[in-house]
Amino acid sequence: MTASGSGIDRGALRLAATFQHGLLTRGQCLAAGVTYESVRHAVRSGRWVRLASGVYLTEPGRTGWEVTAAAAQLAVRGVGPTDLQRGDGPLTSPPVALFGTAAARAWGMPGAERAPLQLAVPRHTGIRGPAGVRVRRIDDWNRRVDLTSFPWRTTKAATVLDCAADGSADDALAWLARAVQKRLTPMELLERELSARERLRHGALIREALADAKAGAHSAAELRYVRDAQRPHGLPVARRQAPSTANGRSAHDNCYDGFDVVIEVDGRLGHEDWDARVKDGRRDRQLGATGRWTSRVFWSDVAVTPCQTAREVAALLRAKGWTGALRACRRPRCCALEG
């Protein structure tokens, strides 16, 4: 990066460009002593590239989603990470942050590899985003936004909940299960963020699912089994993630102690992980030799026909001595008591 003229604070420019993925704003250039005409000359000569209004790439040829996201953020107010540090004081809040799946993409969370650019700004401000970029206005800005990463983004816990609340109930369960499986953020931070959200789409479901996840359910399909098949139909409470007696190394999704019945929930779709499925089948057969019955249910069983699944599980349990009463759930045309 070069610029003509004397009295230029090149150290400040280099520092800003380093943190901003090779980008500089017009305001940063002027503050460092670069004249407006020098900025125009750098663009005309091809040494710099204008990516957005008042935002320049000082390393032509550098590409990537983070560069695009950083340019969009810098275009909002012309403020970058080095502009937030005032003397020896604490960092001030950024004016904008990546939101939802865009924040998840910035954090490297699975499932957001192709997320479109989406920004968030504080609710009670007049800040507007760049043309063509969706902008969300959110409350509790200082709590929900991470100050240490650029492009700025919501915290990991806030990001998981924002993504969970932005789709269907199944999407919410999938995001929560992914957060637990991949340890995207500590469980206590998720709980803390959730407790601060009085109104959150799918909030009741997310709270219930988070409690189930803490008890040992580790996939969206497993959470669905507990929420839609087991609990509302009055089935016994299963011990989840119980150690396998077959090899002592694996665990069962749902073990009905006292009845020698195991319900494994397979949430994988399509025909992937064939080797893993073969191993699961072998484990089921090993359990059968010990007198324990194992049944495997799949995503459609818990998401599409949970009432029928509950009826079938109840039949297995009754064959092993369960005398409890199966009940109909609140779903229209519940078929749990049929047959």
Per-residue pLDDT of 191-242, as tens digits, reads 999 999 989 999 988 888 888 777 777 778 888 899 999 999 999 999 876 6
Q: Are residues 19 and 120 in the same domain?
A: yes
pLDDT in tens, 72-84: 999 999 999 988 8
In a domain, 335, yes or no: no
Same domain, 35 and 133: yes
Q: How far apart are CA 154 and CA 160, in angstroms?
A: 9
Cα separation, 52 vs 54, in Å, equals 6
User: Do 172 and 93 share a structural domain?
Assistant: no
Whether 242 is in a domain gets the answer yes
12, 20, 49, 86, 120 from 82: Cα distances, Å: 9, 9, 21, 9, 20
Residue 5 lies in a domain: no
> Do 267 and 170 share a domain, yes or no?
no
**pLDDT beyond 70 at 249:** no
Q: Is the pLDDT of residue 252 over 90?
A: no
Asked if residue 305 and residue 292 are part of one domain, the reply reads: yes
Q: Give CA–CA dist 71/150, Å, rounded.
A: 11
Shared-domain flag, residues 211 and 224: no
Is the CB of residue 156 less than 8 Å from the CB of residue 190?
Answer: no
Q: What is the pLDDT of residue 126?
A: 85
Q: What's the pLDDT score for residue 1?
A: 45
Comparing CA positions, the residue from 222, 250, 241 lying closest to residue 309 is 222
User: Hey, what are 258's tokens?
Assistant: 């006292």
Number of domains in the chain: 3
Q: Hey, how many other C-beta atoms are within 10 angstroms of the C-beta on 192? A: 12
Contact status, residue 221 vs residue 298, Cβ threshold 8 Å: yes
Q: Is the pLDDT of residue 140 over 80?
A: yes
Same domain? 210 vs 245: no
User: Comparing C-alpha atoms, which of 229, 228, 243 is closest to residue 314?
Assistant: 229
Give me the pLDDT at residue 271, please: 45
What residues pair up with 135 in beta bridges, in sequence order? Answer: 119
Residues 145 and 102 in one domain: yes
Q: Are residues 42 and 124 in the same domain?
A: yes
Same domain, 97 and 28: yes
Determine, yes or no, domain membership for 337: no
Give CA–CA dist 236/326, Å, rounded: 10
23 and 97 fall within a common domain: yes
d(CA 318, CA 296): 17
For residue 298, the tally of other CB atoms under 10 A from its CB is 16
What pLDDT is attached to residue 243? 62
For the segment 31-54, what is each residue's pLDDT rounded down to a tens digit?
Answer: 999 999 999 999 999 999 999 999
Work out the percent of the chain whose per-residue pLDDT is above 90: 59
What does 82-124 look like in DSSP terms, one character per residue?
GGSB-TTSPBPPPS-EE-THHHHHHHT-TT-TTPPPEEEEETT
User: What average pLDDT is seen over the chain?
Assistant: 87
Task: Report if residue 51 sits inside a domain.
Answer: yes
* CA dist., res. 140 & res. 123, Å (int): 9
Question: Mean per-residue pLDDT for 118-128?
Answer: 91
* Domain membership of residue 268 as a residue range: 220-319
Residues 171 and 56 in one domain: no
Q: 207 near 223, Cβ under 8 Å? A: no
The 8-class DSSP code of residue 226 comes to: I
Rounded mean pLDDT, 131-159? 94
Determine, yes or no, domain membership for 190: yes
> Which single residue is written with the structure tokens 């504080």?
122
